[in-house]
Structure 1
Amino acid sequence: MSSKSDTGGKSYSCRICGSSFARKKYMLQHSRTHTGEKPYSCEVCGYAFARKQTMLMHMRTHTGEKPYSCEVCGTSFARKHDLLLHMRRTHTGEKPYSCEVCGFSFARKQHMLQHMQTHTGEKPHSCEICGSSFARKQQMLQHMQTHNREKPYSCEICGSTFTQKLSMLKHMRIHTGEKPYSCEICGYSFTQKQNMLQHMRIHTGEKPYSCEICRRSFTRKQNMLKHMRIHTGEKPYSCEICGCSFTQKQNMLQHMRIHTGEKPYSCDICGSAFSKKQHMVQHMRIHTR
C-alpha cells in the first residue's frame, strides 16, 4: 500500500501494523516480521533468513571470510559491527551507553538495556505456549526448546535427532572420529573449529573477551558472560521447587539436591554418598591420613 508522505514523497505502509517506509523494499523486508517468510537460504547448511544481507553475513561462518580489519592490531572480523565493538573493548575503552539508574557504562547498547532490567524487573520476552516470561530473548528461546520437540535430522549410526542439520553433522564426528581442525603450534586436533580456536589461546595468551565494568579479560566469551553477572546481579537460573535464583546453572543444580536428596558423589572406600563433589573430596582425607 502506497501513499503521499508529509514531505510530498511516496511512502509505503505495512498492511498489518501500519508502519511506513520510504522505499517499497524496506516495507517488504519489514512485512516478513509478521509473515515469518524467510526466502534466502544458506547453500551449505540450509539455514533460512528473511533478509539477503543477513544470509550473506551468515555464509562467512562457512567460508571464514573476515573483510573488516582493525587498524590498530590487525584482527579481522566477519561483521563491521563486531569490529566496532572490538575497538571499544580493546583499544579505545569507549562506553557510550550509561544506565540512567546507577550510572554503569557499557560498550554495547544491548548490554545496557539488559542491565536496566535488573532495576525494572521487566521480562519482555514471553513463551507463546506456557506464558513464562524472560528478561532476555536468548533465555526464552532456550526455554522454547522444552516445548518444541521437532528434530527432523537424524544420525544414521545411533539415531540421535537434531533440530539443525549442522548440529547433526557435527555430532557425526563422534562416530567417524574426524577431527578436521588442528592446532598449528602443537598439532592437537579438534572436531569443532571453535574448540581449536579456544585451545590456541593457551599458546598465544589471548583473552579477547573483556568485562565492560572492571576490564577483567577472559579466553572464552561464556566465562566473561558468567563473570558479568557479578556486576549486573542477574540470576537466570531458578529452582523449580522453591524459586531461589542463581547466577550459574551448576549452582542451581547443586541446590536442587537439597529438595531431591540426590547424592551423586560416593566414596570409593566406605561408600558414603555426598551431594557435592567438594564434600566427598574432603571426606576422602579421613581415609588417607
Structure 2
Amino acid sequence: MLQSMQTHTGEKSYSCDVCGSPFAYKSNMVRHMQTHTGEKPFSCEVCGSSFKRKSQMVTHMLTHTGEKPYCCEVCGSCFTQKHTVLQHMRTHTGEKPYSCIKCCSSFANKSDMVRHMQIHTGEKPYSCEVCGSSFAKKSNMVVHMRIHTGEKPYSCEVCGSCFRRRDYMLQHMRTHTGDKPYSCEVCGSSFARKSDMVTHMRSHTGEKPYSCEICGLSFTRKQYMLQHVRTHTGEKPYSCDICDSSFTVKQYMLQHMRTHTGEKPYSCEVCGYCFARKSDVFRHMRTHTGEKPYSCEVCFLSFTVKSHMLQHMRTHTGEIPYLCEVCGFSYSNKSDMVKHMQIHTGEKPYSCDVCGSSFAKKSNMVIHMRIHTGEKPYSCEVCGSCFRRRDYMLQHMQTHTGEKPYSCKLCGSIFARKSDMVTHIRSHTGEKPYSCEICGSSFAKKSNMVIHMRIHTREKPYSCEVCGSSFAKKSNMVIHMRIHTGEKPYSCEVCGSCFRRKDYMLQHMQTHTGEKPYSCEVYGSF
C-alpha cells in the first residue's frame, strides 16, 4: 500500500548510492544499480547472451523459438513484445501521443520523440572511441564502428554481397527483385529507395535545401553541395593509386581507374557493346530506341544527350562562353576549347603503340591505328568499297549520287567535299597558308607543300614494283606504271589514238584543231 501511495504523492524514497538517481520502488533502484556494476544475472540457455532483467531474457528467447505471441487485431501482424504491437497499432489509428515541447512535432513512439529532441539540444551522447565522431543515437554509433572494424554482418542471399547496415542490404536486394516500392505522386516514377523518391520530388517542387556558404548556389542533394564546395576549396580527396591523379568525387576516381584496368562493366543488352560508365550505356541505348528526350525550346529539335541540346541552344543565343586565354578565340563547347589549347601547348597526349606517332585527340589516334591493323569498318552500300574513316566513306558515296553540297559564294563552283571548296576559295583570295621552311615558297594546299618539300629532301617515297624507279608524287608513279602495263586510258575523240597521259592526249588534239598556243617572241607561233 505504501508503494501505491507513492504513485500519488510522487515520493521517491530509494536513491542510487553512485549517481543519486531517486526511485519510488526498491526493485527499480536495484535494476538501476546494474548499469553501474555491469551485472547481467540472466543468461540465455541457447546462445549465452546475458541480460540485466529477466523480462529481457524472456523476450530474447522468443528470437530462438520464433514465437510471436502478440498480434495486431487489424492486419494480423505478430510481434515478440506487447509494447511493440501497441506501437504498431498507432500506424492504423494515426495516434501520436508524444509531442516535442519545442516545435510541437508529434510521434507515435517515445523513443522517436527523445531522439528528435536531440535536434534542438544538439546533444550527441554517443562517441566513437577510434575517431571521436559523435552520434545522437547509439545504433548510429554501433553502425559507424563497423567502418573501423570492417564488419559487414548483413549478406545478400542471392549474390553473397555483404553490408554494414541492414537497410543497405535490403536496398541491394531490390537490384535482384526489381522491386521499386516508392512512387512519385506527381509523375508516377518509381524508386527502390525512399531517399531517391524524396530527392526526385524536389524536381517538381523546385526545392533546393542545401546551399553553398561561399557562393550561395543551392542543390537538391547534400552530396552535390559538398562536391560543389570542393570547387572553391580545391580539395580533391580521392587519388588514383596508379598515376596519382586526384578527383573531387569518388565516382570520378573509380571511373578513371577503368582507364588503367580497361574494365567496361556496363553492356548494351541489344548489341553487346560495353562501356566503362553506366551513364554511357543509357545514352547508347537511345541509338537503338531512337529516344531523344531533350528538346530545344526555340526550334523544337530533339537530342539524345542533354549537353548536346545545351550546345545547340547557343546557336540561338549566340553565347560563346569558353575563351582561349592565349589568342582570345571563343568556343561554344568546352571540349572544342580544350582541343584548341593544344595548338598553343603543342600537347599530343595520345601515342601510337606501333610507330610512336602522337596525336592531340584520342579519336585521331584510333583512326591512325587502322593504318597498321588494316581495319576499314565503313563500307559503301553501293559498291562495297571499305574505308578507314566514316567521312571518307560519305565523300565516296557522293561519287555514286553525284551530290556536290558545297558551293563557292564567289563563282558558284560546286564541290563534293568541304575541304575542296575551302581550297578553291583560296584561288579567289590568293591565300597560301602553307609555307616551305627552307625556301619560303607558299602553297594553297598542305599536300602541295609536302610534295614541294621533297625537292629539298630528295625524298621519293613511291616506288615502282616492276623496275624499282622512285617518285616524289604518287600520281607520277601511277603514270609510270602504265609503261609496264601498256594501259593508255586517254583517247582522242577525233582519230581514236590512245595515250598514257592526259597532257599527251591534249597536245595530240592540237594536230586536229591547228591550235598553236605557244609563241616565240622573235619568229612568232609554232
* Per-residue deviation, 1:69: 0.9
Paired position in structure 2 for 1:259: 393
CA contact (8 A) 2:376 2:389 kept: no
Paired position in structure 2 for 1:122: 263
CA contact (8 A) 2:266 2:277 kept: yes
Decide which of 270, 273, 276 is 2:413's aligned counterpart.
270
**Which one scores higher on RCO, CA 8 angstroms, separation ≥ 6?**
1
* Per-residue deviation, 1:19: 3.8
TM-score in terms of structure 1 length:
0.58
- Structure 1's 236 and 115: CA in aligned 2 closer, same or farther, altered over 3 A? farther
Q: Counterpart of 1:84 in structure 2: which amino acid?
A: L
CA distance in structure 2 between the partners assigned to 1:73 and 1:201 by the alignment: 27
Paired position in structure 1 for 2:156: 14
- Structure 1's 29 and 94: CA in aligned 2 closer, same or farther, altered over 3 A? same
CA contact (8 A) 1:267 1:284 kept: no
Decide which of 186, 200, 204 is 1:58's aligned counterpart.
200
Decide which of 91, 107, 112 is 2:248's aligned counterpart.
107
Structure 1 unaligned blocks of 5 or more = 152-161, 176-191, 208-217, 245-253
Q: Secondary structure at the match of 1:87?
A: helix
- Residue 337 of structure 2 corresponds to residue 223 of structure 1: no
Paired position in structure 1 for 2:169: 27
Paired position in structure 1 for 2:230: 88
* Per-residue deviation, 1:67: 0.9
1:241-252 residue pairs with structure 2 within 5 A?
242=376
Q: Secondary structure at the match of 2:414?
A: coil
1:64-79 residue pairs with structure 2 within 5 A?
64-79=206-221
- Structure 1's 280 and 113: CA in aligned 2 closer, same or farther, altered over 3 A? farther
* Per-residue deviation, 1:49: 1.7
Asked which structure has the greater CA Rg, the reply is 2
CA distance in structure 1 between the partners assigned to 2:219 and 2:210 by the alignment: 5
CA distance in structure 1 between the partners assigned to 2:313 and 2:393 by the alignment: 39
CA distance in structure 2 between the partners assigned to 1:219 and 1:66 by the alignment: 31
1:130-141 residue pairs with structure 2 within 5 A?
130-141=271-282
- Structure 1's 202 and 193: CA in aligned 2 closer, same or farther, altered over 3 A? closer
* Per-residue deviation, 1:20: 4.8
CA displacement, residues 39-67 of structure 1 (integer Å, 9 cap, x when unaligned):
22333443322112112212222322111
CA distance in structure 1 between the partners assigned to 2:227 and 2:246 by the alignment: 14
* Per-residue deviation, 1:232: 8.6
RMSD: 4.8
CA distance in structure 1 between the partners assigned to 2:253 and 2:348 by the alignment: 12
TM-score in terms of structure 2 length:
0.35
Q: Secondary structure at the match of 2:158?
A: coil
Decide which of 144, 166, 189 is 1:47's aligned counterpart.
189
CA displacement, residues 59-110 of structure 1 (integer Å, 9 cap, x when unaligned):
2223221111111121111111111111112x11111122222222221222
CA distance in structure 1 between the partners assigned to 2:311 and 2:392 by the alignment: 36
CA displacement, residues 234-277 of structure 1 (integer Å, 9 cap, x when unaligned):
95897796479xxxxxxxxx941113425674115111121x4x
CA displacement, residues 96-125 of structure 1 (integer Å, 9 cap, x when unaligned):
122222222221222222222222222222
Decide which of 424, 429, 439 is 1:283's aligned counterpart.
424
Q: Counterpart of 1:75 in structure 2: which amino acid?
A: L
- Structure 1's 19 and 42: CA in aligned 2 closer, same or farther, altered over 3 A? same
CA displacement, residues 205-240 of structure 1 (integer Å, 9 cap, x when unaligned):
7x8xxxxxxxxxx998x7369959x99969589779
1:98-247 residue pairs with structure 2 within 5 A?
98-147=239-288, 149=289, 162=291, 167=293, 223=334, 227=338, 235=362, 242=376
Seq. identity, %: 48
- Structure 1's 37 and 226: CA in aligned 2 closer, same or farther, altered over 3 A? farther
CA distance in structure 1 between the partners assigned to 2:426 and 2:336 by the alignment: 35
